[in-house]
A and B are shown apart, each in its own frame.
Chain A
Amino acid sequence: MRILVCVKQVPAKDAPIKVAGDGAWIREDVAYETNEPDAYALEEALRQREAHGGEVVALTVGPARAAQVLREALAKGADRAIHVAGDDAHRLDSYAAAEAIARAIAGEKFDLIFTGLQSEDYGYGQTGVVLAELLGIAHATIIMQVQPAAGGVRVKRELENGYFQYLNLPLPAVLTIQSGINKLRYATLMGIKQAKSKPLATVALADLGVSPSLNRQSVAKLYVPVKTKKTELLEGPAKEVAAQLAARLKNDLRVI
């Protein structure tokens, strides 16, 4: 089984972020880390390889700094890595990023392509799905489990309200992986050392003909949510107020 895992470098979860001058994205001077669902996607790929053999290739689309997530993937056990690099690569939307990935792997054959369910920065949750469409292959999202099955794989999808769905898919296929489905391994020091001699290929985004001009979505404005405090008093007999409160919680705030 040959598995491609798409990993993205995103601002660290607890990093204090600042909106950039142009108001369209954040400033670069933050700490970065591997997008969490992608870490689970990589872990799942490594486990599949350990169980069934094959090759795991990690790929990222991002500026030079993003090579770090590939080094981490190699240290954890990926066999090789592909860096689709460009200074403005972090400005691509899902469609343009999927184009970049599809073009970068044009000469390769993968049985499975894993992405994370969504990225923790833009949160589109689309890249894997669009990639499958561009490649003309099957896909399924929010994957909890992957098992070999006749002619392909059997997967478990998470639906809402604690429901799951089991599906059989033909190969090749794109699966977007849910966080928390396995236990992440740590990169060992030996792994980090070995990673130095594993192949890490760099492909220029420009050579693939991809740039943010392909974007079909744009960020209109980015701002830090303004905290507003609003107190509303519901008045009337207790019974009526209770009914009003229940209606508000259900319809306006949607918490019940």
Chain B
Amino acid sequence: MLKFRDVDFIGFASLLSDNERLVRDSTRQWAEANLTPIIEGCAREGRFPRELVPEMGRLGLFGANLHGYGCAGMSNVEYGLVMQELERVDSGIRSFVSVQSALVMYPIFAFGSEEQKNRWLPRLQSGEAIGCFGLTEPDFGSNPGGMRTRARRQGDEYVLNGEKMWITSGSIAHVAVVWAKDDDNVVSGFLVETDRPGFRAEDIHGKYSLRASVTSSLSFHDVRIPAANRLPGATGLKHALMCLNQARYGIGWGAVGAAMQCYDTALQYSLFRVQFGGKPLAAHQLTQEKLAGMITEISKAQLLAWHVGRLKDQNRADHGHISMLKRNNVAMALDVARTARDMLGANGIADEYPIFRHMANLESVKTYEGTHDIHTLAIGEKVTGIAAFE
């Protein structure tokens, strides 16, 4: 495995404060010492390294940009840099942290009662409890508004019935944030403890992507939860989408990390691999054209992530900005990964180098949290004022 060297062509680090660099470097040190050595094995075995969860909690990686309840209270740029460094090692690990932070802790933080916050946030922050987020259903992916999962009120309880699909961390979660239609047909958020009778989680096997992350299907068969488990502030699909915006923002940074890793690997490889005339691959124009294109796109993606982060810190990032960040940066990372794969020749398909794993992971990242095309439509609607989803 080649040692990662920082990827910074445009003096990007000069846009960061000393504290932001400290956040990046500390996360990088931890990830390189603890994740890098095991990640290829985890992906091969299809295993999520759950043993690292308490340590990740201790470091403050969960809910890092939330305030109070034991959370680190990071700025959004600091939080983004954490995501970048995690995804530089593996998108699956970053996915776990994104779900825990943006899709489970954030909705409890933003839409939960004080009692729900006190009960769950400290435990989710420390990693003592793991959460999952159930929005997608077998028949409703890009269009979650059509969901069939129901929560019917019966006295002091809600009774849940339905199915959720492609749920990250589903089978290892202690609590699920479940989106279901209530008696008034309003999409609402509920906290479902996963040890309740009628709840089942089954892992989806045979994935070629995000193999170091758990993906499950959930089924709810007359699952009874106290009425107090309803998230009081989460009434309407828009609140589910607000959670997704938090996660998409982190993905925008994470994708930069994956791209940095692939680019750096390809650069180092092309400098030592010699073919034709005793020259390294890097001395050939076609290789240089690839490297120049990759570093240009990475630099632009870094600036976009940074800018949206600054906007988010000023409460000025809207969903269009975040759609652009997710759409551009993930597609960029996937292109960089594919080009890097090509540049390593046969070594590009071997797990001695991290590239193929990143490339396969990024296929999921392109699809989840709003597919590339769905974000195209979101930006299209923003600029034209015309929705083209239907």
Binding site for B on A (CB under 8 A): 14, 31, 67-68, 71-72, 75, 186-193, 195-196
Q: Is the interface of A mostly helix, strand, loop or mixed?
A: helix
Q: Does B221 contact A (CB under 8 A)?
A: no
Residue contact B58 to A188, C-beta cutoff 8 Å: yes
Contacting residue for A192 out of B5, B26, B30, B58, CB 8 A = B26
Residue contact B30 to A186, C-beta cutoff 8 Å: yes
Which residue in chain A gives the minimum CB-CB distance to B6?
Answer: A31
Contacting residue for A188 out of B3, B19, B29, B60, CB 8 A = B60
Chain A residue contacts of B23, Cβ below 8 A: 189, 192
For the complex formed, measure the closest distance between the CB of B54 and the CB atoms of chain A, giving whole angstroms. 13
Residue contact B30 to A190, C-beta cutoff 8 Å: no
Q: Does B377 contact A (CB under 8 A)?
A: no
Contacting residue for A189 out of B25, B29, B61, CB 8 A = B61
Residue contact B60 to A71, C-beta cutoff 8 Å: no
For the complex formed, measure the closest distance between the CB of A117 and the CB atoms of chain B, giving whole angstroms. 21
Q: Does B115 contact A (CB under 8 A)?
A: no
Residue contact A14 to B5, C-beta cutoff 8 Å: yes
Residue contact B58 to A71, C-beta cutoff 8 Å: no
Chain A residue contacts of B3, Cβ below 8 A: 14
Residue contact A189 to B18, C-beta cutoff 8 Å: no
Q: Does B64 contact A (CB under 8 A)?
A: yes
Q: Does B82 contact A (CB under 8 A)?
A: yes
Report how far A146 CA is from B3 CA in the complex, Å. 35
For the complex formed, measure the closest distance between the CB of A42 and the CB atoms of chain B, giving whole angstroms. 14
Chain B residue contacts of A187, Cβ below 8 A: 22, 26
Residue contact B18 to A71, C-beta cutoff 8 Å: yes
Residue contact B59 to A188, C-beta cutoff 8 Å: yes
For the complex formed, measure the closest distance between the CB of B125 and the CB atoms of chain A, giving whole angstroms. 10
For the complex formed, measure the closest distance between the CB of A179 and the CB atoms of chain B, giving whole angstroms. 15
Q: Is the interface of B mostly helix, strand, loop or mixed?
A: helix
Chain A residue contacts of B60, Cβ below 8 A: 188-191
Chain A residue contacts of B42, Cβ below 8 A: none
Chain B residue contacts of A188, Cβ below 8 A: 26, 58-60, 72
- Chain B 54-81 interface 0/1 with A at a Cβ cutoff of 8 Å (1 = within): 0000111100100000101110001000
Residue contact A71 to B22, C-beta cutoff 8 Å: yes
Report how far A67 CA is from B19 CA in the complex, Å. 11
Which residue in chain B gives the minimum CB-CB distance to A33?
Answer: B25
Report how far A196 CA is from B75 CA in the complex, Å. 13
Q: Does B21 contact A (CB under 8 A)?
A: yes
Chain B residue contacts of A14, Cβ below 8 A: 3, 5
Chain B: interface size category: 20 to 34
For the complex formed, measure the closest distance between the CB of B13 and the CB atoms of chain A, giving whole angstroms. 9
Q: Which of B1-40 touch A at CB < 8 Å?
A: 3, 5-6, 18-19, 21-23, 25-26, 29-30
If A67-B18, A188-B58, A189-B74 are given as contacts, then 11 extra A-B residue pairs at C-beta distance below 8 Å, sorted by A number, are: A186-B26, A186-B29, A187-B26, A189-B60, A189-B64, A189-B72, A190-B70, A191-B60, A192-B22, A192-B23, A192-B72
For the complex formed, measure the closest distance between the CB of A210 and the CB atoms of chain B, giving whole angstroms. 25
Which residue in chain B gives the minimum CB-CB distance to A68?
Answer: B18
Chain A residue contacts of B29, Cβ below 8 A: 186
Residue contact B19 to A192, C-beta cutoff 8 Å: yes
Chain B residue contacts of A67, Cβ below 8 A: 18
For the complex formed, measure the closest distance between the CB of A46 and the CB atoms of chain B, giving whole angstroms. 15
Contact A75 B18, CB 8 Å, known A14-B5, A31-B6, A193-B74: no
Which residue in chain B gives the minimum CB-CB distance to A67?
Answer: B18
Which residue in chain A gives the minimum CB-CB distance to B30?
Answer: A186
Report how far A148 CA is from B296 CA in the complex, Å. 57
Chain B residue contacts of A75, Cβ below 8 A: 22, 26
Report how far A229 CA is from B3 CA in the complex, Å. 28
Report how far A186 CA is from B25 CA in the complex, Å. 10
Counting chain B CB atoms within 10 Å of each CB, the highest count among A191, A192, A196 belongs to A192
For the complex formed, measure the closest distance between the CB of B326 and the CB atoms of chain A, giving whole angstroms. 23
For the complex formed, measure the closest distance between the CB of A248 and the CB atoms of chain B, giving whole angstroms. 33
Contact A68 B82, CB 8 Å, known A186-B26, A190-B72, A192-B26: no
For the complex formed, measure the closest distance between the CB of A41 and the CB atoms of chain B, giving whole angstroms. 18
Report how far A190 CA is from B22 CA in the complex, Å. 12
Chain A residue contacts of B78, Cβ below 8 A: 189, 192
For the complex formed, measure the closest distance between the CB of A69 and the CB atoms of chain B, giving whole angstroms. 10
For the complex formed, measure the closest distance between the CB of A38 and the CB atoms of chain B, giving whole angstroms. 15
Report how far A65 CA is from B110 CA in the complex, Å. 39
The 7 closest A-B pairs by CB, nearest first: A189-B60, A189-B72, A187-B26, A186-B30, A190-B60, A188-B60, A190-B72
Chain B residue contacts of A190, Cβ below 8 A: 60, 70, 72-73
Report how far A14 CA is from B5 CA in the complex, Å. 9
Report how far A188 CA is from B70 CA in the complex, Å. 12
Chain B residue contacts of A186, Cβ below 8 A: 26, 29-30, 59
Report how far A193 CA is from B23 CA in the complex, Å. 9
Chain A residue contacts of B70, Cβ below 8 A: 190
Contact A189 B82, CB 8 Å, known A14-B5, A67-B18: yes
Which residue in chain A gives the minimum CB-CB distance to B3?
Answer: A14
Show 30 residue pairs from A and B whose CB-CB distance is below 8 angstroms, ordered by the A residue.
A67-B18, A68-B22, A71-B18, A71-B19, A72-B25, A75-B22, A186-B29, A187-B22, A188-B26, A188-B58, A188-B59, A188-B60, A188-B72, A189-B26, A189-B60, A189-B61, A189-B64, A189-B74, A189-B78, A189-B82, A190-B60, A190-B72, A191-B60, A192-B22, A192-B72, A192-B78, A193-B72, A193-B73, A193-B74, A196-B19
